[in-house]
Chain A
Amino acid sequence: MSVDRATVHRIAHLARIAITEEEAARLEKELSGILDWVAQLDELDTTDVEPMTRVVAMTMKQRNDEVTDGNCADDILKNAPAVDDHYFVVPKIVE
């Protein structure tokens, strides 16, 4: 199942990755190649098969509903490219 140029642009937008026309052309071929190859899964009849939703059978643990962490705003901001007080600074969100 091939992807066309428009689809490549649509996916790139969904993934929030800017791509040039050149890259789109290359990706069209590469992604189509990969998707054609994975299409062999259609050979399998999986009508009555449950999808694997957990790798190891286990009951998820819960913890007590207590505050045991936090108050480390400086740590969280430590690697930020732009900060102001305890805020991450980003360009204006334009409508």
Chain B
Amino acid sequence: MTNPTDLTIAEARAALDRKDLSATELAEAHLDAIDKANEALNAFVLVTPERALEAAKESDGRIAKGEARALEGIPLGIKDLFATKGVRTTACSHILDGFTPTYESTVTANLWSAGAVMLGKLNNDEFAMGSSNETSYYGPVVNPWQRQGSNAKLVPGGSSGGSSAAVAARLCMGATATDTGGSIRQPAAVTGTVGIKPTYGRCSRWGIVAFASSLDQAGPIARSVEDAAMLLKAMASHDPKDTTSVDVPVPDYVAAVSKGVKGLTVGIPKEYRVERMAAEIDTLWQQGVKWLEQAGAKIKPVSLPHTKYALPSYYIVAPAEASSNLARYDGVRYGLREPGNDVLSLYENTRAAGFGEEVKRRILIGTYVLSAGYYDAYYLKAQKVRTLIKRDFDQAFQEVDVILTPTTPSPAFALGEKSGDPVEMYLNDIFTVTVNMAGLPGLSVPAGVSSEGTPLGLQLIGKPFDEETLFRTARVIEEAAGPLAKPVNWWSRAA
């Protein structure tokens, strides 16, 4: 019998319904895996075994009565950016020490209504700001993947590094994550997992710690395209509490997965072939093109002329919105409070002690670009560039149905390797930020391995609310690439 933690969500649902195993056994297997792994990987910042077993027990009850819901009994990890009622939520920041929400985020509420089981909260870059999970107050996450012949610790990507590492290491069957500039797709790519950032407005942002309100979106990370579709179907909903959430029915993403790509036209944007790109990434991209062609898709070169301006404009817009969203952390109503003689010192001391370096950098950049005298030159300018980026995509989508690009410019790098120049770290987002800036859906699917034996992903970008095309195209790539080997388990401590 397969190790329960090796099952996909789809397989586990079937096994549970057949009573091959119970939801309690499934939860216990994962809690055991987490217990053995977390010291080495640091993927979870909080494990919730009692809650997991309680939920699993309830699931077993429902399964016995034949009342299983879409994700009944499936153990998931939740990025620590999602407010979970009664369970500590910190955005992996010192400034939210001990914060215990009295409310549940809409996305996680949807998952519990579908019968999913919470294993715990997953590590992430502080306030979702980062591409390597090295800025978390709870310490970095280690990628379960290692380079061949090396035991150097690699990053799992970021900001959803806990989510990607936990799914790749089989500590949970799927995870929630968020993506503002690539924080679902990039970690998925460097851990060999599937990650999708849906169209802006598809999932509710209510109860998710806000980073950049016009860019943030929740989405799943899972080990297969089908699993990602199952999770997104449960996560997405219209939410009256989030006025940016769209009132559009959620399609049956799972049904779309096996539709194939015959008759679809795939766009290949020439501006994504950049100087700093590793040669093997370009090779993989061309392999992706061949696979889709062989499966019956038409291929068409397209141009997205403003691509190179997406990253600098993102690094104006996102910090600007972050400086506004993080103004609420002032030591008054929740989280850390540092003493001060007066209210001003209270604010200044609390925020100095509570925020990490990267967060402070971004708040300061954001404050600067919004300040009197600079607003037009920076923020307004960046928002105009955003219109140009969106226009590029609108025009391209008149000729193609989906766009194929690499997800990252390189495979997973080592911890500490990019901690010098902040801009060097930002360049990891080069292929992903365009998608957030345009509000489009984007998916990363594992497509191969690097010369070092570490995973590489390909990115699919879709029309607004056309996640179905992303899933069916990703499935073709997934099938053509063949199953990815499991990362060799170096991380479990002895029983």
- A: residues with CB less than 8 A from B are 3, 7-8, 11-12, 14-19, 27, 30-31, 33-35, 37-44, 46, 49-53, 55-56, 58, 60-61, 63, 72, 75-76, 78-82, 88, 90-94
Contact = CB atoms under 8 A, between A and B. Distances in A.
Interface in B242-283: 243-244, 246-247
Nearest to B383: A51
Contacts of B10: none
29 contacts: A7-B368, A11-B367, A14-B371, A15-B323, A15-B364, A16-B327, A16-B344, A16-B347, A16-B351, A18-B349, A38-B316, A40-B312, A41-B381, A44-B388, A46-B384, A49-B387, A51-B380, A51-B386, A56-B199, A56-B200, A76-B102, A79-B98, A79-B100, A80-B334, A88-B332, A90-B332, A92-B342, A92-B343, A93-B342
B364 A56 contact: no
Contact of B309 (A33, A44, A52, A56): A44
Contact of B385 (A19, A31, A41, A56): A41
A31 B99 CA distance: 31
A92 to B, nearest CB: 6
Nearest to A95: B342
B4 interface: no
Interface in B341-393: 341-349, 351-352, 355, 360-361, 363-365, 367-368, 371, 378, 380-388, 390
B391 to A, nearest CB: 9
A38 B364 contact: no
Given A46-B381, A88-B333, A58 B246 contact: yes
B368 A41 contact: no
A41 to B, nearest CB: 5
Interface in B426-466: 439, 464
Range class of the B interface residue count: 35 or more
Contacts of A46: 381, 384-385, 388
Contacts of A37: 312, 315, 423
B214 A27 contact: no
A3 B346 contact: no
A4 to B, nearest CB: 12
Given A17-B360, A38-B316, A94 B422 contact: no
A4 B390 CA distance: 35
B384 A27 contact: no
Nearest to B344: A16
A44 B365 CA distance: 21
Given A38-B378, A40-B312, A52 B386 contact: yes
Nearest to A13: B348
B367 A14 contact: yes
A-B pairs with lowest CB-CB distance, top 8: A51-B383, A55-B439, A79-B334, A81-B337, A18-B348, A46-B384, A18-B352, A75-B102
B127 to A, nearest CB: 14
Interface string B276-319: 00000000000000000000000000000010110011011000
B281 to A, nearest CB: 23
Given A56-B200, A56-B464, A78-B102, A27 B423 contact: no
